[in-house]
Structure formats: C-alpha cells, structure tokens
C-alpha cells in the first residue's frame, strides 16, 4: 500500500487533543475559515464534488443529500448528527468524539452553514458518558470563543446553536427517522417514508441527518480540498451507472479473533486481508480464520476465501453482502462454530427490533428460537429451510417493513445458509451441542 498519512486520527494520542487550544495549534478550524469565505451553495458544491459518501452505513452521497433541502424554506432548518453508534463491532465514532471532538464540531458548523441550519442536535447513545462530557466541554469552549451562537466567527447573519441529546440505548435509534422520533421525546419507531427528513424531519421541519465520521471528513474536504479527497479510494466503475465511487480516508474497526484489535485509518478500498494481516496483526493464537463480519453485524458474512474483498461501497455487494456498512470487521477463527455466531446475531436483532412491523418482530424472534434449538442439538435439517423462508420474507428488500433493521437481521442468516451450509448440516446431523449450552446442562 502506498504511504498514507492519517488525517482523521492524526490528533489521537496528542496531549489535550480534545481542547480548543491544542486543536487550533494543530491547524484546526482552517476548514471553517475557508468555508465562511464561500457562499453556502459553494460549500455544498465542494462537498458534492468530493464524492463524499455517508460513513454511517448507507453510503449515500453527502453533498447530494444536502441539495434535497427546500431552497426557499423560511426555516427553521435542522441538522441532526447521528452518534448513536449501536452497530456491533463499531467504535470509530467514539474515538473521534473522545479524542478529537473539535474535528467533528468543525465539520458540523461547516455543514450547518452550507445547509442554512440554525440548530444542530448531536444525538449520542447514553452509554457514551465520556464522549458526552468531552463534546459538551468542547461546545462550551466554542460558545466562549464566539464560534457558536450569534454571528458565528464574526460572520454576520450566521447563527448556530448545538445541543447534545442523549438517547436511551436502542439500536433502532441509528435509523434516521427513529433518531428523530426519539429526539422529539417519543418512542423511537421509524417513520414511513416519504416524506423524507429533508422535507419533513425533526419537529416536521426540513432536516439533514449525518454521521460523526462524515462530519469529520467535511472538515478536511474544506481544508485540504476536493482533489486531495478524491486522490484516494476507488473511482466509480464506468460500467456501473449506480456506482458513485468510494473516495477519501476511512476509519476501519477490527475486533474478534485478531492479535491487535483496534481502529485504523486507511483509504477506502483496503481489503479485508490487508486489514487483518497488516493492521490487526493476523488471527490470534496461530489459528486460521473461518470468516468475518465485514462491515458491522448487519452486513452479513465473508468466508476466509473471500478476504480479498475490498472494503469500499461497491465490492462487498459482489460477495453477496449487504454493503460496506460501518466498515467494522469482526473476525472469527476456524474453531468457532458458525451456529454460535449466527445465534448471537439473531439474538441481538430480536432484542433490538422495535416491534412496529410484524415481519421483523416475529421473524427475528423465530430465527433466534430456531438457532437456539439447533445449538441444543435438537435441530432438524428442515429448520434450515424454515430459516431461509423467514429471511427471504422480512425487510425493506421484499417490502414488508418500514426500516432496514429486518434486512440487517436477515443478511447474516442468508449468507450463512449460502456460505456455511455444509457446516450447519453437519452440526444438525451429528446432534452437536454448543459448549456453553452443555455447561448450562451440567455437562450432560
């Protein structure tokens, strides 16, 4: 890999990196200065030209999303920043908020200037107590420095207030309309769309919802330029009109059965094998990998033979995964039963389903019950057919649910049935029992 100098993580480990003084000493807020010298439309055009795609999971082009806001709306316009980060295996947002909060806040201020938003809500999961305190301290510093409130940084007419809002620890709040419902003080049930948040979002006003890492990237696009951002990553495939390219730096989380779990920065397009071998120190205990979750639990599975998959917005789909997701790779070794991995996946989604849509509420529950029975050594081969029927019948893809949680729940099951079916069949035929289940039964 060519030499790459981190930008998103450059301040991590620097003493007092979370403070305004240190952030400014290291070049912080230059991007904001450059943005305020442009018109809001020019800032939107720059972000759009950069090809920045949302880092929260869906990968929608950020600049394009900003253009969906009504151009003649009298206001207010809101910006909501998703810092819920409940996707299993994902912790890159936490690192940015705790170690370099001003990088995120700079991107937020730029984004609000570009979209004419006068109020921004940063929605953070309740469990992130340290992140909350670091962000609030950074926001207080900005108010004291005249960089928030009335006439931000001396820019006449640009008024902005930023508020932190703590969620109650629910996975569904990572879905943008579920987040908005929770922000409004209601149960976090995702809304039927349309209308989309850009037209009718928080408090029924135009709203743009972006992710923490996305905002950090906005900071560097304005500071270092569009061409710098597009100089790394994977260009769009000219044969695929739906491919918008995968540009810029990315934070990759890697956990599970590796020697050096952590958060690493590299250009988009790094392969799974490179991430595991070159960054995470290889598979632990001298073992071999059986497979991995390539982008957060909801993206599905890759087998070890598929580890040359590029971690960009296009390549995981070629391996029948749902997408890049959050680029959080969870590795499991060759001594880990796939039935255990699948059971943990189904149990998580069953617990986190909001229950609004019957196919998701019932489907995730039944998949968990079937996997629990298989783990007890009581499964039948016909259970695999039932699992296939359930996973094909839930989610946005077949059009049976309001949000994509059910798709995320179904995809690991789909991939396991496609890629690990011989192991599942062997487990059932031989009436094998998971170690923890056996221990719970007293070894009998």
Q: List C-alpha distances in Å: 137 to 63, 80, 100, 315.
A: 29, 19, 12, 40
Q: Mean pLDDT throughout 19-41?
A: 97
Q: Residue 444: its pLDDT value, please? A: 42
The 10 Å Cβ neighbour count of residue 335 is: 10
C-alpha gyration radius of the chain: 22
* pLDDT above 90 (res 437): no
Q: What percent of the chain has pLDDT over 70?
A: 98
**How confident is the model over 20-29, as pLDDT tens digits?**
999 999 999 9
| Alpha helices, DSSP H, located in 292-404 | 315-318, 338-352, 358-375, 381-393
**How confident is the model over 104-130, as pLDDT tens digits?**
999 999 999 999 999 999 999 999 999
Residue 371 phi, psi (nearest 5)? -65, -35
Residues 6+ apart with CB under 8 A from 318: 309
Q: Residue 357: its pLDDT value, please? A: 96
d(CA 255, CA 367): 25
List % helix, strand, coil for the chain (3-state, nearest 5): 45, 15, 40
**How confident is the model over 149-206, as pLDDT tens digits?**
999 999 999 999 999 999 988 999 999 999 999 999 999 999 999 999 999 999 999 9
Give the HSE-up count for residue 237: Cα atoms under 13 Å, Cβ half-sphere. Answer: 9
Indicate the pTM of the whole model: 0.94
d(CA 147, CA 152): 5
Cα–chain center distance at 325? 6
Terminal C-alpha separation, the chain: 52
**How confident is the model over 405-428, as pLDDT tens digits?**
999 999 999 999 999 999 999 999
d(CA 43, CA 47): 6
* DSSP label of 209: E
d(CA 111, CA 288): 44
Q: Tokens representing 251?
A: 């934070």
Residue 291 phi, psi (nearest 5)? 180, -170
Beta bridge partners of 310: 271
**How confident is the model over 360-374, as pLDDT tens digits?**
999 999 999 999 999
Q: What is the mean pLDDT of the chain?
A: 94
In the structure, what pLDDT confidence band is assigned to residue 435 with cuts at 50, 70 and 90? confident
Residues 6+ apart with CB under 8 A from 291: 301, 302, 303, 304, 306, 331, 332, 338, 419, 420
Q: Which residue has the tokens 């999961």?
A: 125
Instruction: Say if residues 86 and 171 touch (Cβ distance below 8 Å).
Output: yes
Domains of the chain plus CATH, in order, are: 20-231 (3.40.50.11540), 246-333 (3.10.20.600), 338-441 (1.20.1440.230)
Q: List C-alpha distances in Å: 83 to 80, 176, 184, 251, 418.
A: 9, 11, 16, 15, 33
Q: Which residue spans within 49-168 are E strands per DSSP? A: 78-83, 119-124, 161-166
Instruction: Say if residues 428 and 374 touch (Cβ distance below 8 Å).
Output: yes
């Amino acid at each position: 890999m060519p030499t790459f100098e981190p930008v998103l993580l450059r301040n991590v480990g620097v003493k007092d990196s979370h403070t305004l003084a240190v952030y400014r000493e290291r070049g912080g807020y230059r991007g904001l200065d450059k943005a305020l010298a442009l018109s809001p439309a020019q800032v939107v055009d720059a972000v759009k030209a950069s090809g920045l795609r949302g880092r929260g999971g869906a990968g929608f082009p950020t600049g394009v999303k900003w253009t969906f806001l009504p151009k003649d709306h009298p206001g207010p316009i809101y910006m909501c920043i998703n810092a819920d980060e409940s996707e299993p295996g994902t912790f890159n947002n936490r690192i940015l908020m705790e170690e370099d909060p001003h990088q995120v806040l700079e991107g937020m201020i730029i984004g609000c200037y570009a979209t004419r938003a006068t109020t921004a809500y940063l929605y953070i999961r309740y469990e992130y107590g340290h992140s909350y305190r670091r962000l609030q301290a950074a926001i207080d510093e900005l108010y004291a420095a005249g960089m928030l409130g009335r006439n931000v940084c001396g820019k006449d007419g640009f008024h902005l207030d930023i508020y932190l809002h703590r969620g109650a620890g629910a996975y569904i709040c990572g879905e943008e309309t579920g987040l908005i419902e929770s922000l409004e003080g209601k149960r976090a049930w995702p809304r039927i769309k349309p209308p989309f948040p850009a037209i009718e979002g928080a408090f029924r006003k135009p709203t743009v919802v972006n992710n923490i890492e996305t905002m950090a990237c906005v900071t560097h696009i304005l500071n270092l330029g569009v061409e710098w951002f597009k100089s790394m990553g994977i260009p769009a495939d000219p044969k695929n009109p739906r491919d918008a390219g995968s540009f810029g730096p990315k934070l990759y989380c890697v956990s599970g059965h590796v020697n050096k779990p952590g958060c690493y920065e590299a250009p988009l397009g790094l392969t799974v094998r490179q991430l595991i071998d070159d960054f995470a120190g290889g598979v632990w205990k001298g073992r071999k990998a059986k497979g991995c979750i390539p982008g957060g639990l909801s993206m599905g599975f890759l087998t070890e033979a598929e580890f040359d998959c590029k971690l960009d917005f296009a390549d995981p789909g070629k391996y029948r995964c749902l997408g890049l997701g959050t680029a959080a790779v969870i590795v499991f070794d060759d001594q880990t039963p796939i039935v255990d991995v699948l059971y943990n996946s189904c149990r998580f989604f069953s617990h986190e389903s909001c229950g609004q849509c019957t196919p998701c509420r019932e489907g995730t529950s039944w998949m968990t019950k079937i996997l629990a029975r298989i783990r007890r050594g009581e499964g039948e081969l016909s259970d695999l057919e039932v699992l296939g029927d359930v996973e094909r019948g839930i989610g946005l893809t077949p059009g049976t649910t309001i949000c994509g949680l059910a798709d995320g729940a179904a995809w690991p099951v789909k991939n396991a049935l496609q890629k690990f079916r011989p192991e599942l069949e062997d487990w059932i035929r031989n009436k094998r029992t998971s170690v923890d289940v056996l221990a719970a039964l007293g070894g009998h």
